[in-house]
Amino acid sequence: MLIALDAMGGDHAPEEPCKGAILACREKPHLSIALVGDSEKIKPLVEKAERNVRSRLSIVHTDEVINGSDSPSLSIRRKKNSSLVVGFEMVRSKEADGIVSSGNTGAIAAGAVLLLGRIPGIDRPGLGAVLPVLNRSTLLMDVGGTVRCKPINLLQFAQMGSIYMKLFQNVENPSVRLLSNGEEMTKGDDVISAARGLIEASCLNFQGYAEGKDIPNGISDVVICDGFTGNVIIKFGEGLGELLKSQFKEEYIHHTLPKIGLFFMWPAMKRVMGRFDWEKYGGSPVLGVNGSVVKVHGRSKANAIAHAITGAANFIERNGVDRIREEIARGVQNGND
């Protein structure tokens, strides 16, 4: 199995993607990775890897990069020799089995649609994020692929998210909720209200609206929202975590008691933090396109990138794209959308 890795995407490229590729190859002995990017920069980063890893790492040279500030669809159309576009082309031509990138989220979603194409019946792809919450994992979808949605998009996110949780988190009949500004039927806007009707009429295990506080409380296996809302939420959570960390750090620096306390609490803190380490959850899958595409957070370091690569490999091994294609086709036949 060959996975194309956008070695130039993200804040710590190409160093961290290259380290991540080495870690992933160590973990999965049958995995090969094509590092797509500036070969002069990549070569010194991988040449010291042990032989049985190095032999599974190839370099595909490109001399353009899509930046965070580039317009998603324009950059995909114009930067033909960028690491991201070349990686997608490798998946389209079946040279690679999937692609992983920590680059521009919009460009990854746009590239997935423009270069790989949508699965028949799917209007817009969805970018999901698996969040570790109370007593379960919740797939929040969309988190930035489709900024604003039509009701049909939200229904299809619910369908794809449900399939993803069934197949890849082994959840029997995943529960689905739609994010709104309250639990009551009167909440939401016109789009959310229409989407509620569509999802209720489907055969999904739909349980109504979820509020913001319900996500961390693990109210359901899948929570659906538009990409704007999902993006703001996961970034807000990230910012809150950093704020808390920095506040406690300041306490340790200026006071002695918390230092002693930390000594005793460290194992408990490690256990709790380990439970909520979002980096372990294999990146964010782009669902609804003809290929295995996984987006990693732009600030990711090697470990998170390695988890995303192995997550993509699992998705490919279990024929993830085919399973979604079949289920969506069945749903369309049954008149579920």
The count of other CB atoms within 10 Å of the CB of residue 224 is 34
Decide: helix, strand or coil at residue 43: helix
Q: Which span sits near its own copies by CB under 8 A: 36-44, 54-62, 82-90, 226-234?
A: 226-234
- Two tokens at 125? 């792809």
Decide: helix, strand or coil at residue 137: strand
Peptide bond into 14 cis (omega under 30): yes
- Please tell me what DSSP assigns to residue 119: P
HSE (side-chain half, CA atoms, 13 Å) at 296:
36
State which residue, 203 or 240, has the beta carbon closest to its own copies: 240
Peptide bond into 337 cis (omega under 30): no
Looking at residues 126 to 155 of the shown chain, list those that interact with its own copies (rule: CB under 8 A).
133-134, 144, 147-148
Residue 120 interacts with its own copies (CB under 8 A): yes or no: no
Residue 214 interacts with its own copies (CB under 8 A): yes or no: yes
Q: Amino acid identity, residue 258?
A: P
Contacting residue, 81, 265, 326, 330, with its own copies by CB under 8 A: 265
Contacting residue, 202, 220, 229, 310, with its own copies by CB under 8 A: 229
Q: Which span sits near its own copies by CB under 8 A: 54-62, 89-97, 256-264, 322-330?
A: 256-264
Give the contacts of 139 (CB within 8 A, at least 6 positions apart): 128, 129, 130, 131, 161, 164, 165, 169, 221, 222, 223
Q: Considering CB under 8 A, how many residues would be counted as binding its own copies?
A: 66
Contacting residue, 9, 125, 128, 227, with its own copies by CB under 8 A: 227
Residue 272 interacts with its own copies (CB under 8 A): yes or no: yes
- Two tokens at 155? 């229904």
Give the contacts of 60 (CB within 8 A, at least 6 positions apart): 4, 34, 35, 36, 37, 86, 87, 90
Give the E-state strand segments of the chain in sequence order: 2-6, 32-37, 57-61, 98-101, 126-133, 136-141, 175-179, 205-210, 222-224, 284-287, 292-295
- Two tokens at 99? 């692609």
Looking at residues 276 to 315 of the shown chain, list those that interact with its own copies (rule: CB under 8 A).
276
Q: Which span sits near its own copies by CB under 8 A: 28-36, 156-164, 166-174, 261-269?
A: 261-269
Contacting residue, 260, 317, 319, 334, with its own copies by CB under 8 A: 260
Looking at residues 188 to 207 of the shown chain, list those that interact with its own copies (rule: CB under 8 A).
188-189
State which residue, 126 or 188, has the beta carbon closest to its own copies: 188
Q: Which span sits near its own copies by CB under 8 A: 10-18, 28-36, 168-176, 225-233?
A: 225-233
Residue 170 interacts with its own copies (CB under 8 A): yes or no: no
In angstroms, give the least distance from the CB of 126 to its own copies: 15
Q: Are 227 and 141 in contact (CB under 8 A)?
A: no
Residue 317 interacts with its own copies (CB under 8 A): yes or no: no
Residue 208 interacts with its own copies (CB under 8 A): yes or no: no
In angstroms, give the least distance from the CB of 247 to its own copies: 5
- Bridge partners of 99, per DSSP, are 4, 293
Sign of dihedral through CA atoms 24, 30, 32, 33?
negative
Residue 253 interacts with its own copies (CB under 8 A): yes or no: no
Q: Which residues bind its own copies (CB under 8 A)?
A: 68-72, 105-106, 133-134, 144, 147-148, 179-182, 184-186, 188-189, 211-217, 225, 227-229, 231-240, 242-244, 246-248, 251-252, 255, 257-258, 260-268, 271-272, 275-276
